[in-house]
Copies of this chain bind each other. A is one copy, B any other.
């Protein structure tokens, strides 16, 4: 039976509103990927309308907090839940909520593994950001380049291999418990999969030479096998081809050739 017009509309009516800086994937991308994996329609306000940004800036600079039912938020990403005073912020917290409400996490104790792996991936993402902004988020990259070169050397040499090695083990461990699983925790996709995927993709974008070397030297077959497997899933393929997927730009994951090689 064909959908009635109102059923079609209900399907497309945004269930959530994402507020994030426009024109970069950034930390908003972790939230977008979770929503895409869950197949939930959402409004990406600042990318869909020019006026969106003023709403976001108004929210994070709100001084009169007692006049609203919405709790204070420090910075985006922010997820608004329609018909509710809930205004979620902090990436892992938004993902926790979506895990609970959109079937993106197990309901048993494995849900803590999902959160743990997600937090670990986000730590790697934050360090990839600090590689081009080691001194301060308020300064330009060009004004902290010597510091960035030192940070990036440490990051390439010690941190990427450490984290990639960890996720390689995570996949081995889960396969030992669930031999048929294609995912990080248990047998179903979770927000750990979407988040680790985005961090691996982003680190590969920013440090392609280093990641290429690591593949050759260390293999990390489990990690890259899982990464390619997820990339081949229909929902992710069609998202990556859509306009909703923004190209990497001046956000967390930036490719500066000088940060990807020994000087």
Show the binding face of A for B, using Cβ within 8 Å: 63, 65-66, 71-74, 84, 86, 88-90, 92-93, 96-97, 109, 112-113, 115-116, 119-120, 130, 134-139, 144, 147, 150-151, 154-155, 158, 162-163, 166, 169-170, 172-173, 175-176
A113 near B163 with CB under 8 A, answer no
Task: Report chain B residues within 8 Å CB of A66.
Answer: 172-173, 175-176
CB pair A135 B116 closer than 8 Å: no
Chain A binding surface SS class: helix
How far is it, in angstroms, between the C-alpha of A116 and the C-alpha of B91 when the chains are bound? 9
Looking at A74, A96, A113, which has the most chain B CB atoms within 10 Å of its CB?
A: A74
Whether A134 and B112, one on each chain, are in contact in the complex, defined by CB atoms closer than 8 angstroms, is no
Give the CA-CA distance A63 to B66 in the complex, in Å: 52
Assess whether B93 is in contact with A115, with CB atoms less than 8 Å apart. yes
User: Are A134 and B120 in contact, CB atoms less than 8 angstroms apart?
Assistant: no
